[in-house]
Amino acid sequence: MEGSRRSFLKLAGVCALGLGVKPAVNAFSADAPAVGPFSLNPGALIGKQWAMVVDMKKCWEKGKEGCKDCLLACHKVHNVPEIGNIKEEIKWIWTEHYENAFPGQESHFMPEFMHGKPFVVLCNHCTNPPCVRVCPTKATFKRPDGITQMDFHRCIGCRYCMAACPFGARSFNFKEPRPFVKDIDPTFPTRERGVVEKCNFCEERLAVGQLPACVTSCKVGALTFGDAENPKSEVRKLLAANFTIRRKAETGTQPNVYYIV
Amino acid sequence: MKMYNADKIIPGLIIFVAVLTLPFWYNLGKAATPPQPKIDTPVIQQMSEKTCILPKTEMRAGHMQMLNDWRTQVVRNGLRDYTAPDGKHYNMSLQNDCMKCHSNKVQFCDQCHNYMAVTPYCWTCHVEPKENK
């Protein structure tokens, strides 16, 4: 073949143009998450950073004394065992007193209405989660929608994440949990001995278009769930209208559960 | 060449070989019955077209890879919808989808797994269907 320098340069130019156009084509391609035959459920809730606002005032003022609806609902749908021993207890959502939930922010002269009152606490699904950083198997990871998710299949039970989490949001299965689950919900797995577990922000319910179980179970609407990155979401409206605090914000983990006190 | 203690060694060797091969003699002519997984569950009986997600042969050979892929897609990527080659949509869930049809774990899963001497540990966490045992 008698190729001239001119035709070679033409061809090279066309090739370079093609490479230059590729990113632009990528940008216009559909951004619905799908890989081969796998795709998102059609009715799934989609967000960029799921967050929760807990209105403790509503909980205390309107809720009944000792109401545990959110705790029971969560532990029911996720087959969380009730071990009955505080050293081995498993908890996804639980209550703490103010001085334990917000250490360093307490004062000698707390208002009377807060004395001995329960604060609803759960995994904060931090924007900068230390549990994800320390996990040696990537069993804990950050989803694109901001949920700090656990892959129980990968957990080797090293408990680094429990040491790393400043909120005590993770529990270890010291014994086989299944005998301690009263009525097993057949739609959700249990865990096995030797894995860590925690709140998953009801990732399995979001996938079918439902709000988290704790949110829907609260009769007084003290829990609000939404996308913190969406300025029109319920969560953002509450955050704009109220002064809120977060647990141990000074640790820099950027918790995504906010409290109205 | 003279062999010392041949009267003890040779019978000893014969007994040793006999004992070593005893399992073969014991099971001679007795082939283990190959498993016949049953699919006569109420849900499958009511299907007009009794088809699984993929053709039977593919499911039989590759269900473990499929379950592994599904696990990755659901847990790691949050994608829960599977479009089968025939265009049908499936919710990728062992407990909520596979076992809805194959609600006879003992007859369907365990038979082959026992025959092949494999012990998948799905059911230490995933809840197996209630069966009439």
CA angle A204, A207, A209 (to 5 degrees): 115
Structural domains of chain B, count: 1
Q: Nearest CA of chain B to the CA of A103: how many Å?
A: 34
Q: Does residue B131 sit within a domain?
A: no
Q: Give the model confidence (pLDDT) of A45-99 as tens digits.
A: 999 999 999 999 999 999 998 899 999 999 999 999 999 999 999 999 999 999 9
Comparing alpha-carbon positions, the chain B residue that sits nearest to A147 is: B78
CA A43 to CA B124: how far, in whole Å? 30
Q: What percent of chain B has pLDDT over 90?
A: 68
List, in order, residues 6 or more apart from A235 with CB less than 8 Å away: A51, A52, A53, A224, A225, A226, A227, A228, A258
Q: Does residue A7 sit within a domain?
A: no
List, in order, residues 6 or more apart from A56 with CB less than 8 Å away: A117, A119, A120, A222, A259, A260, A261
CA B25 to CA A247: how far, in whole Å? 71
pTM of the predicted structure, to 2 decimals = 0.82
- Collect all residues of chain A within an 8 Å Cβ-Cβ radius of residue B96: 187
The CATH number given to whatever domain includes residue A80 is 3.30.70.20
CA A257 to CA A260: how far, in whole Å? 10
Decide: A253 and A124 in contact? Cβ < 8 Å.
yes
Structural domains of chain A, count: 1
Q: Does residue B133 sit within a domain?
A: no
Test B77 with A33 for CB contact under 8 angstroms. Answer: yes
Closest CA to A210 of A201, A219, A222, A218: A201
Q: Nearest CA of chain A to the CA of B8: how many Å?
A: 55
Residues forming a β-bridge with A257: A52
Half-sphere exposure of A38 (CA within 13 A, CB side): 18
Q: Does residue B88 sit within a domain?
A: yes
pLDDT higher than 80, residue A31: no
Comparing alpha-carbon positions, the chain A residue that sits nearest to B76 is: A151
Q: Does residue B15 sit within a domain?
A: yes
Residue A53: helix, strand or coil by DSSP?
Answer: strand
Test A40 with B79 for CB contact under 8 angstroms. Answer: yes
- Collect all residues of chain A within an 8 Å Cβ-Cβ radius of residue B121: 192
Q: Does residue B132 sit within a domain?
A: no
Decide: residue B45, CB within 10 A, 0-12 exposed, 13-18 middle, 19+ buried: exposed
Range of the structural domain that residue A149 is part of? 50-260
- At residue A15, φ and ψ (nearest 5 deg) are -60, -45
Of B78, B91, B95, the CB nearest to A189: B95
Of A184, A187, A191, the CB nearest to B96: A187
Q: Nearest CA of chain A to the CA of B93: how many Å?
A: 9
pLDDT higher than 90, residue A1: no
Residue A55: helix, strand or coil by DSSP?
Answer: strand
CA A75 to CA A93: how far, in whole Å? 8
Comparing alpha-carbon positions, the chain A residue that sits nearest to B77 is: A143
Range of the structural domain that residue B54 is part of? 6-124
pLDDT higher than 80, residue A18: no
Q: Name the least confident of A104-113, A241-250, B116-125.
A: A104-113
Q: Specify the pLDDT at position B55.
A: 92
Report which of residues A155 and A17 the model is more confident about.
A155
CA A121 to CA A93: how far, in whole Å? 6
ipTM surpassing 0.90: no
Q: Specify the pLDDT at position A24.
A: 66
- Collect all residues of chain A within an 8 Å Cβ-Cβ radius of residue B129: 186
